[in-house]
Structure 1
């Protein structure tokens, strides 16, 4: 039996492309997660592996959907092999049932880890440049001085926090972050 697994990193991302590809590849059952590939324990992946039996094949759209670290991917491949479960990646053309497939898997697993490390290095470098330029933290706050002053004036009226947030153009959570206890 072919068992599909799909993953996206954030809740805003869509699984449709992967799920469609898995069904087209013949997967009878599909599992999914909306979580970082760096996380070791993902409920959908755990469920997919628990569901699979010896002789089944776990199918993914792309190898990096399984994980981002070399160790994690190699450990997962070893776990699947131990249980007699194959691994196939549609986009990467990998099938671990043969020697060549296992070699390609290990090469691509190393590349997935390298990509993750490169992203991390670029992010760290960009944050360092920002710090040197006097910027600390992430995005600029939407609570400008003008909005803060307007909110302080409106707090003296009978308006509710929700009404004030709407009037100054910020979310209620942003309002409470800047005016805790109101």
Structure 2
């Protein structure tokens, strides 16, 4: 039987592209999950490995969808070879349980891990450079402009309820509460100077 495994790293990413490829490849059952490759916790992969038996084929679109790093990839694929499971990586081909197949596997996984590490390094370098700028702010950009928040706080001060202001300004009650708390703290700090 042909099984597929699809994985993306974040909740916001879409599995559809991988699933379409796996269906085209003739996978009868597809296991899918949204877990970062850096975590060992991948329940769907664990269940799939338990399900596979001798003569089955596991299909993945790319090797890094299956493994977190070189060591992890070699362990997973060797355990599958030991069970008599064929492994087909779409962008590489059928991985065989031969000396050449194992060498090819180790080389590919090492390159994929190096590529991931380089991406992390470049991201960290970019952040370090950005932190040197005066206008750098860590984290997500603010969703609401300062004027919108000020208007909402003014409405609260005029006696409107948090719920009314939230519905009117399309700002969540929790955001309004935080803004109100921050404004109060700033007013106290200003008064104490």
* Structure-1-length-normalised TM-score: 0.85
Distance 1:139 1:47, change over 3 A: same
1:54-73 CA-to-partner distances (Å, cap 9, x unmatched) read 22222101111113411221
Report the more deviating stretch, 121-130 or 61-70.
61-70
* Residue 18 (structure 2) pairs with residue 28 (structure 1): no
Contact 2:9 2:37 in 1 (8 A): yes
RMSD: 2.2
Q: Which has the larger radius of gyration?
A: 2
Contact 2:59 2:87 in 1 (8 A): yes
Distance 1:143 1:179, change over 3 A: farther
Mapping of residues 107-126 of structure 1, within 5 Å: 107-126=107-126
Distance 1:114 1:30, change over 3 A: same
The residue that corresponds to 2:73 in the other structure is 73
* Structure-2-length-normalised TM-score: 0.81
The residue that corresponds to 1:41 in the other structure is 41
Moved over 6 A (4+): none
Gaps of 5+ in 1: none
The residue that corresponds to 1:141 in the other structure is 142
The residue that corresponds to 1:50 in the other structure is 50
Distance in 2 (CA, whole Å) between partners of 1:163 and 1:104 is 63
Contact 2:3 2:27 in 1 (8 A): yes
Superposed displacement of residue 123, structure 1: 1.0
Superposed displacement of residue 126, structure 1: 1.0
Gaps of 5+ in 2: 182-193
Distance in 2 (CA, whole Å) between partners of 1:121 and 1:155 is 46
